[in-house]
Amino acid sequence: MRVVQRFRPLAVICDLLCVAGPVDPAVQISRAFSQEFFKVERVPSSHKVGTRQKKLGSTFDKKFRQRLSDYLKTMASPEIEQHLAPLRASVKEYGDLVRSLKESGAPKVDIDRAVVELKARKKRLEERELELAPKEAAFDRLKLEDLLKRRFFYDQSFAIYGGVTGLYDFGPMGCAMKANMIDLWRKHFILEEGMLEVDCSVLTPEPVLKASGHVDRFADWMVKDVKTGECFRADHLIKNHAEKLIQLFPYKGCFSDALTVRAIFPRKVARAAGVGYVQPKDKKTSAADRDALVDVLAKLEGFDDKDMQAVIKKFHFKSPITGNELTDPIAFNLMFPTVIGPTGDFKAFLRPETAQGIFVNFKRLLEFNQGKLPFAAAQIGSGFRNEISPRQGLIRVREFTMCEIEHFVDPSDKDHPKFAKVRNYELSLFSACNQMDGRPAETCTIGDAVDKYNLERKQQLAGNGEMSKKRKKEVKKDMESQTCLAGNATSSQVWELGKGAVANETLGYYMVRVHQFLVKVGVDPRRLRFRQHLANEMAHYACDCWDAEILTSYGWIECVGNADRACFDLHQHYKATNVKLTAEKKLSEPKTVQVTEAVPNKALIGKAYKANAKQIMARLAELSAEDVGMLEGELRSTGKAVLTYEGGEAELKTDMLSVKRYEKKVHVEEITPSVIEPSFGIGRIMYAVLEHSFRQREGDEQRTFLTLPPQIAPIKCSVLPISSNLKLEPILEAVREQLAKHEISFKQDDSAGSIGRRYARTDEIGIPFGVTVDFESEKEPWTVTLRYALTMEQVRLQVSEVGRTVQDLAAGRMSWEDAQAKFPKFEQKADA
């Protein structure tokens, strides 16, 4: 059980959606069931989709053989929709149930139970969608992984020492690709949006992360083998054991449906629904125990340590490896601890996110921006999370590169000046509402999505909603509250409001910019969607959150979180430090306020406290009216008063200060800004791009290649001499000079292989362009051929034109068609 899910936005979804690959023991049981299920599954052979399905179904037997869904395409087919309709209905049923439970104020445990069921049905629907994906979406992960390892894109760290799970080293290819992505990110966001970039410390003192909530809540529950000390995630262990004991088996429908229908309804209902039990292998599991365990599975997500402990005790769960007893659940904090300095008592952690570094610098950044809101700060850097047992390659790691933006904005005005420019940009939005209704993601302009929100909100305020009286009152109160959340919708409102609507223009603007970035770096837009958080996924303070999810062979992976975090973080750091993290906002009309001020007698204080006088007077200036009053009272009654200031304590006497009271017109008010945060996991995006760009040549499946966008490709150009004849060397030298002059990264391959084999080698690592020096090259003026990997077409051009041409092609200033129009075509005998 993840104690608080909100702190790990990048790590949640794949847990749910992982369909295969190496997994921990906790999910092997359900894997076995899935495989069984897929074998039983038959689709009529007359059915076109079915034929594909059959072929695909069989691939599940091969361990790493995976499929990719061409999601939107799939959705467009009525045949497939026919298959999905019942599943969609089953999701909607529970979406409606959850809504009515909430509406009627049902107990939390009932709602949670219903949400668990809702999620299971959603998952089932999604899996089915993936199963029905067309054949061209098939994808061989093993082949890609082999390539990435062999050509050293990345590989496990410290392999010669046995390796460490969750740590990866990027080789020359991966490193250049990552650097190119970050470079593009910097241009796309920091430069184009005029953001303030910062670079903060990884080492973070404990109090900072205490304030942010990470020390207390960034944890998983864990149990240990009492003898070996081996660790297990408590929720995984319970799920594992419980499923084994229940031994539910579907003879109609599917496993997850059976399990969850049973979780909600009594045995009879389940039978009626066509779901039954197989005889449990372990005869000792009584029907009563079984029912209790089903109940546990339904509630597991909401369990705390005591609940889990009770289950482990009651059912005598042991270590699945040794059979030994287990400890009570311990909260295992996912941050890496360390200490700063020699004494050992200055506790610190490696930062779990870069965001906190921006928040603690808010004042400096605001000042840098000359006190004006809105502004955005950004940071590119490493984050660290001590996962209990990381798997899934770059998807879940212990050390990762993040790019985070914190956009600070007036909470009562979240409009964005550039929103008009993107208003008609279309996104695939998978709203909370559609998720609950079992409907797929929908394509919609961002303008419409934001308008819808504003419209609904207006209607609600006007009392036209269909809420209960109580809810209406609550929402109204939230809306009008003068707390730091003023102007934000709170999460409870979103539950009502955010059905496919994006909460404000700034959030919407960033969603568009995120989409543009992802497509630019090579994510297939058809496998990209924005999924809105359901109310129980969202942090308690956030008012809207849309994850950019990318479909890979691991399922839909969250790669960019886009959240409106309201003022939570700044407020927490203010509470911890008493340093005001606010901005000044001009009032529409001036306001009269009462001022109580301590006026120091500078001469006397200076004489008494010398070097410390300045600090003392600064402290006096920042006292609140109340403090001044207390000080005054003390001086009056005793003739002296103690003031605590940065440098120590000072005893003040009556003649050292006077108190002034007066009225003042103020033209500004202090506000705590809201924060809109897009947060990028670079490694995940990189992996998704690699999957999406991985291709096999038609007719030669062994020959794979990567269609990376030239801007992202680790190497832009290959240089290939047709033979090792030394007379080609001066021409090669001229080509290399051309490329170096234009700052183009290139790789010369003068190995002995045939030119075709060498082309294949360069295509394999996604080098988009290739210059070949052949025997025709020698004729003055020297010429070479230029090849485009994607189409394998070639043109012939002069050496002196090579640098500029490849530079323009690589930067996207020239298309391959342009190059073909400009230079004569070169025909080759055979490219293999």
Determine the interface stretch with its own copies among 187-195, 414-422, 537-545, 605-613 (rule: CB under 8 A). 187-195
Q: Is 294 in contact with 259 (CB distance < 8 Å)?
A: yes
Q: Is 334 in contact with 385 (CB distance < 8 Å)?
A: yes
Q: Is 161 in the site for its own copies (CB under 8 A)?
A: yes
Q: Which is nearer to its own copies, 364 or 640 (CB)?
A: 364
Q: Which is nearer to its own copies, 128 or 186 (CB)?
A: 186
Q: Rule CB under 8 A: which of 545-604 touch its own copies? A: 573, 576-577, 579, 581
R_g over Cα of the chain: 31
Q: Is 186 in the site for its own copies (CB under 8 A)?
A: yes
Determine the interface stretch with its own copies among 106-114, 160-168, 285-293, 670-678 (rule: CB under 8 A). 160-168
Other C-beta atoms closer than 10 Å to the C-beta of 174 total 22
Q: Which is nearer to its own copies, 202 or 215 (CB)?
A: 202
- We find the least distance from the C-beta atom of residue 176 to its own copies, in angstroms, to be 6
Q: Is 6 in contact with 566 (CB distance < 8 Å)?
A: no
Q: Rule CB under 8 A: which of 134-153 touch its own copies? A: 151-152
Cα gap 502→452, rounded to integer Å: 8
- We find the least distance from the C-beta atom of residue 75 to its own copies, in angstroms, to be 38
Q: Which is nearer to its own copies, 167 or 479 (CB)?
A: 167
Q: Is 197 in the site for its own copies (CB under 8 A)?
A: yes
Q: Is 251 in the site for its own copies (CB under 8 A)?
A: no
- Name all contacts of 613-621 with Cβ < 8 Å and 24+ positions apart: 615/645, 615/646, 615/647, 616/643, 616/645, 616/647, 616/650, 618/645, 619/643, 619/644, 619/645, 619/646, 620/657
Q: Which is nearer to its own copies, 116 or 177 (CB)?
A: 177
Q: Is 231 in the site for its own copies (CB under 8 A)?
A: yes
Q: Which residues contact 451 (CB under 8 A, 6 or more apart)?
A: none
Q: Is 215 in the site for its own copies (CB under 8 A)?
A: no
Q: Where are the alpha helices (DSSP H) in 562-643?
A: 568-577, 602-609, 613-621, 625-638
Determine the interface stretch with its own copies among 357-365, 477-485, 530-538, 608-616 (rule: CB under 8 A). 357-365
Q: Which is nearer to its own copies, 248 or 717 (CB)?
A: 717
- We find the least distance from the C-beta atom of residue 161 to its own copies, in angstroms, to be 6
Q: Which is nearer to its own copies, 356 or 805 (CB)?
A: 356
- Name all contacts of 647-653 with Cβ < 8 Å and 24+ positions apart: 647/612, 647/615, 647/616, 648/612, 650/609, 650/612, 650/616, 652/605, 653/604
Q: Is 367 in the site for its own copies (CB under 8 A)?
A: yes
Please identify which residue in the block is written with the tokens 């009502």: 496
Q: Is 615 in the site for its own copies (CB under 8 A)?
A: no
Please identify which residue in the block is written with the tokens 């070949």: 772
Q: Is 208 in the site for its own copies (CB under 8 A)?
A: yes
Q: Is 673 in contact with 410 (CB distance < 8 Å)?
A: yes
Q: Is 815 in the site for its own copies (CB under 8 A)?
A: no
Determine the interface stretch with its own copies among 94-102, 203-211, 494-502, 628-636 (rule: CB under 8 A). 203-211
Other C-beta atoms closer than 10 Å to the C-beta of 812 total 11
Tell me how many residues contact its own copies (CB under 8 A): 79
Q: Is 755 in the site for its own copies (CB under 8 A)?
A: no
Determine the interface stretch with its own copies among 156-164, 488-496, 621-629, 789-797 (rule: CB under 8 A). 156-164
- We find the least distance from the C-beta atom of residue 369 to its own copies, in angstroms, to be 9
- We find the least distance from the C-beta atom of residue 676 to its own copies, in angstroms, to be 19
Q: Which is nearer to its own copies, 553 or 738 (CB)?
A: 738
- We find the least distance from the C-beta atom of residue 811 to its own copies, in angstroms, to be 10
Determine the interface stretch with its own copies among 5-13, 222-230, 242-250, 517-525 (rule: CB under 8 A). 222-230
- We find the least distance from the C-beta atom of residue 561 to its own copies, in angstroms, to be 23
Cα gap 299→26, rounded to integer Å: 17
Give the distance between the most distant pair of CA atoms in the chain.
Answer: 104
Look up residue 357 and give its amino acid: G
Q: Is 198 in the site for its own copies (CB under 8 A)?
A: yes
Q: Residue 631: which of 595, 596, 579, 604 has the closest Cα?
A: 596
Q: Is 385 in contact with 398 (CB distance < 8 Å)?
A: yes
- We find the least distance from the C-beta atom of residue 201 to its own copies, in angstroms, to be 4
Torsion angles phi and psi, residue 82, rounded to 5:
-60, -40
Q: Is 560 in contact with 518 (CB distance < 8 Å)?
A: yes
One of 192, 622, 651, 670 touching its own copies (CB under 8 A): 192
Q: Is 370 in the site for its own copies (CB under 8 A)?
A: yes
Three-class SS of residue 591?
A: strand
Crossing angle of helices 255-264 and 25-40, rounded to 10°:
110
Q: Rule CB under 8 A: which of 322-351 touch its own copies? A: 332, 336-343, 345-346, 350
Q: Which is nearer to its own copies, 275 or 334 (CB)?
A: 334
Q: Is 384 in the site for its own copies (CB under 8 A)?
A: yes
Other C-beta atoms closer than 10 Å to the C-beta of 632 total 17
Q: Is 775 in the site for its own copies (CB under 8 A)?
A: no
One of 74, 90, 180, 204 touching its own copies (CB under 8 A): 204
Burial class (CB in 10 A: 0-12, 13-18, 19+), 775: exposed
Q: Rule CB under 8 A: which of 685-744 touch its own copies? A: 740, 743
Q: Residue 430: which of 75, 811, 815, 32 has the closest Cα?
A: 75
Q: Is 731 in contact with 785 (CB distance < 8 Å)?
A: no
Q: Is 187 in the site for its own copies (CB under 8 A)?
A: yes
- We find the least distance from the C-beta atom of residue 691 to its own copies, in angstroms, to be 20
Cα gap 305→235, rounded to integer Å: 10
Q: Is 682 in contact with 400 (CB distance < 8 Å)?
A: yes
Q: Is 462 in the site for its own copies (CB under 8 A)?
A: no
One of 20, 27, 196, 616 touching its own copies (CB under 8 A): 196
Torsion angles phi and psi, residue 650, rounded to 5:
-130, 135
Q: Rule CB under 8 A: which of 164-183 touch its own copies? A: 164-165, 167-172, 174-176, 178-179
Cα gap 205→192, rounded to integer Å: 33
Q: Which residues contact 89 (CB under 8 A, 6 or more apart)?
A: 438
Q: Is 213 in the site for its own copies (CB under 8 A)?
A: no
Determine the interface stretch with its own copies among 80-88, 353-361, 458-466, 516-524 (rule: CB under 8 A). 353-361
Q: Which is nearer to its own copies, 197 or 808 (CB)?
A: 197
One of 39, 48, 364, 602 touching its own copies (CB under 8 A): 364
Q: Which is nearer to its own copies, 360 or 484 (CB)?
A: 360
Determine the interface stretch with its own copies among 67-75, 380-388, 504-512, 800-808 (rule: CB under 8 A). 380-388
- We find the least distance from the C-beta atom of residue 574 to its own copies, in angstroms, to be 9
- We find the least distance from the C-beta atom of residue 572 to its own copies, in angstroms, to be 12
Three-class SS of residue 549?
A: strand
One of 75, 331, 365, 659 touching its own copies (CB under 8 A): 365
Query: Could you tell me the two tokens for 213?
Result: 């909530």
Other C-beta atoms closer than 10 Å to the C-beta of 467 total 16
Q: Which is nearer to its own copies, 322 or 412 (CB)?
A: 322
Q: Is 398 in the site for its own copies (CB under 8 A)?
A: yes
One of 481, 751, 800, 815 touching its own copies (CB under 8 A): 751
Q: Residue 551: which of 427, 438, 683, 689 has the closest Cα?
A: 689
Determine the interface stretch with its own copies among 36-44, 204-212, 244-252, 476-484 (rule: CB under 8 A). 204-212
